[in-house]
Amino acid sequence: MAAAPFAPTRPTAGRVVGGVALLALAAVLAHLATVVPGTPRTAVVVVGVASIVVTAVSLMVLHRGHNSAKYLAAGVLWGLGAVVAGLLPDLDLGPFPLSHVVFALGELGALAVLLQLLVRARAGSDDPPLVVDALMLGSALITLGWDAFARTGHSGTGGENAATLLVVVAASLVAGSAVALGVEQPRLRVSATGLTVNGVATAVVAVCLPHDVAIAGVAAALAMAGGIVGLLTLPRDGVVRHGGADAERAARRLEVASLIPGPVLLVDILLLVVFPRADPVLFATFITVLVTFTIRHAATARSIDRTTAHLKFLALHDALTGLGNRTLLERALTGPDHDQSLVLLELVGLDDVNDVLGVSAGDALIRAAAEEVLLVVGDLDGSAYRTGGDQIAVVLRGDPAHCLRHAESLIAAITTAPAKVAGAGRFPLTAVAGVAGRAPDGTDPDAVGDVMAPFVQADIALRDAKHLGGGAVSVYSGTVAVEHARRGLMRERLALAVAEGGVDVHYQPVVSFTTGRVDKFEALARWEDPVLGRISPVEFIAIAEESNLVVALGEHVLRHAVQWAYEAGVFSVGVGLAVNVSVVQLQSPGFADIVREILDQYRIAPHLLTLELTESVFLDEDSPAERVVTELAGLGCQIAIDDFGTGYSAFGYLGRLPVHVLKIDRSLTQSLTDDVNGQSVVTCVVDLANRLGLSVVVEGVETQQQADICRFISAPLGQGWLYSPAVPRELLGEQLAHVYPVPDALGLEDETRVPATEF
Ligand code: C2E
Ligand code: CA
Ligand code: CA
């Protein structure tokens, strides 16, 4: 991935200093031209024009960037109007002296330019930063109106002043409200309203000060309050809202917006110098404008710095966790130090929290996990990045073999995260990790020309780890890559086998410890690929689950098994059938309908069909999968918990949900004869099941001793090689012989029966 281009366009310090120095020069020139007594008119004109030129140049220097020509034109028109007006003798034109008319023309020119900017800004206003432009233009408009008023109003009669005041107030109100109403963001709207109040109240002060100090005082307070509200609520982070891809554009827009008060302020300074004999009211209000704009400009400049810093941060960091993003990771992997490894961590168990507690709890959990990771990484002098929704990358010093240990510590740290999020404590969180090294320059052909090679390799290792299950760490190696390729091929071949019915079903009896009678048969999928050979279901079911293929595969096994059991007369002698169901199947729409359809088709007593599920299904309270389980139990099917004792062993769901059978995992059966604890665990589970009215199947019974213990602790049913492995239908006759009574339909000879007492 290429680094996101990010080039904030704020003028450099040198440019600002240069621009300001030029402006100061312009101000001095203008001052000299107008205040030195006896200066000839031609000199005033020449110096005035020179000051305009210098202003223009300084504006260009300061505003180099977007729309600089427009801003420049606005500044020049305005200043030109002002200087020419200052030079003209005041001819009596009634309420409109000539100099004011010329000045007003200059202001109108400036206004036209600024309005055009406003309209352009509005036209493409799907972009929130444009609102900032509009707001600033609106406030400039208000000040322009006010300036025009102050210059015509200060020498007029009370009636003229009042009339002009009305016009200015109305114009300010319209402009300000238009901006305020056109803004979606509440913060910007408040800001626009505050500035409107400020403009209107300032106009009132200008008119009332000589006549009515009390009203002027109230208006001044209002102006100040409005100004403060407007300034304080000026958009600081409003622009950053959308961040991300538009970050750079947003930063530029914000800068352009912030420059708009610039010309207004500068021209005001200029006017202040050009009209040194202005009356105290005008002078005071000029000062107000100057101060207001200085503050506003400073506030905006500060907000630009902050926003730019924020945007820069956003461009390189993940907003949720504050960890670096892929761009930063890329940089870390291109540093001069090659003795580095990349650990790619993927959180396992996050979905449960997202599903049950909601996405915000999931976010909090990711944040907590990131904090834990940072603690470990800080100790190891490494760095951490968020590279995907549930993926965190860590760069550490040292080779992969060395970092394997650290990966384990990172996973251990992540498992403590749920305790720190309200309500998430009951959801176990873990992670899997893939580790890959940054090969020394040039020695790894894969690494040449691709800085992200370690990322790709760590990702392959991560998938390998995922395959091994929660908590696993896998280090990238040639073997891992070969394994990765093999699994890719397997996925393809399996899809083909599922589509063409190449997946077979074998059956293993579940037997009563006391009577020796077959209680049911468990259907187990078998797949032998012409190219890859025989593959263990542990492997191909996992692959099928990753790629959703398990939905079709599971349905195939279910239909196949039920059809066999029906045709062999298994159901008619009261013997059941157990089928494994993946959680992915439960989550796929219409699974319960398929089961219902099959039950109807073969008219099976529903209790003869057992659906074996793993505990993971029951972790999410109220999850869709749980609702499907309830529906299946509602059909009358038996629900069995497979591999009981290996998973989360959170017993809560046993009371909550319709479960009928616990299948004690093979590993616990093994421990029956190996250690005393094992025996007591199995005894406890059997007791628990008895108390809850559940049946128990002890899996993986391989020895007579194990069977004896099972019988001793009153476990009702067992399954394992002691009785029979899973066999194809053709070889099932022998197992069926254990069914009492043997129905003729099965076509078995009486002599083949094995007495129950053998168990
Ligand atoms: P499972 O459901 O726990 O199936 C029991 C596994 O234990 C089977 O392995 C079986 O062959 C094996 N087994 C039975 N008796 C003994 C014994 O005495 N000793 C030992 N060591 N093993 C014994 P298998 O057939 O390799 O299946 C492995 C797993 O693959 C199954 O575990 C099940 O989780 C999954 N699986 C198999 N078929 C299907 C299927 O059609 N759908 C789904 N979703 N999963 C399936
Ligand atoms: Ca099973
Ligand atoms: Ca099992």
| Residue 39, pLDDT score | 52
How many C-beta neighbours within 10 Å does residue 449 have? 7
665 CA from centroid of ligand 3 (Å):
5
Q: Is 133 in the pocket of ligand 1 (CB under 6 A)?
A: no
Single-letter code of the amino acid located at 554: G
Q: Which CA distances in Å does 287 have to 147, 264, 293? A: 12, 13, 10
| 367 phi, psi to nearest 5 deg | -60, -45
Q: Is 614 in the pocket of ligand 1 (CB under 6 A)?
A: no
Residue 97: is it exposed, middle or buried by C-beta count within 10 angstroms (0-12/13-18/19+)? buried
Q: What is the mean pLDDT of each run of 10 residues along the chain (759 residues)?
A: 33 53 52 48 58 54 47 54 50 47 53 52 40 42 48 48 54 56 57 66 58 63 63 47 43 46 46 44 43 48 59 78 89 85 94 88 94 93 92 93 93 94 89 86 47 85 88 87 85 94 95 92 96 91 91 97 93 94 92 96 96 80 81 96 74 79 91 77 86 92 94 94 92 67 40 36
* Domains of the chain, each with CATH number or no CATH: 13-303 (no CATH), 326-476 (3.30.70.270), 490-737 (3.20.20.450)
578 CA from centroid of ligand 1 (Å):
12
| Residue 596, pLDDT score | 97
For ligand 3, a single-atom ion, the residues with CB < 5 A are 642-643, 699
196/223 Cα distance (integer angstroms): 9
| Residue 365, pLDDT score | 95
Tokens 């005393």 identify what position?
Answer: 676
| Residue 690, pLDDT score | 85
DSSP code for 344: E
Nearest ligand to residue 578 Cα: 2
280 Cβ contact partners less than 8 Å away, ≥ 6 residues apart: none
SS3 content of the chain, % helix, strand, coil (to 5): 65, 10, 25
Residue 407: which H helix or E strand, with range?
A: helix 400-414
| Residue 654, pLDDT score | 76
Contact 430, 369 (CB under 8 A): no
| Residue 755, pLDDT score | 37
Put residue 381 in one of left, alpha, beta given phi > 0 → left and psi -120 to 50 → alpha: left
Dihedral over alpha carbons 626, 627, 632, 637 (to 10 degrees): 50
Q: Is 642 in the pocket of ligand 1 (CB under 6 A)?
A: yes
Per-residue three-class SS string for 640-669: EEEEECCCCCCCHHHHHCCCCEEEECHHHH
Q: Is 525 in the pocket of ligand 1 (CB under 6 A)?
A: yes
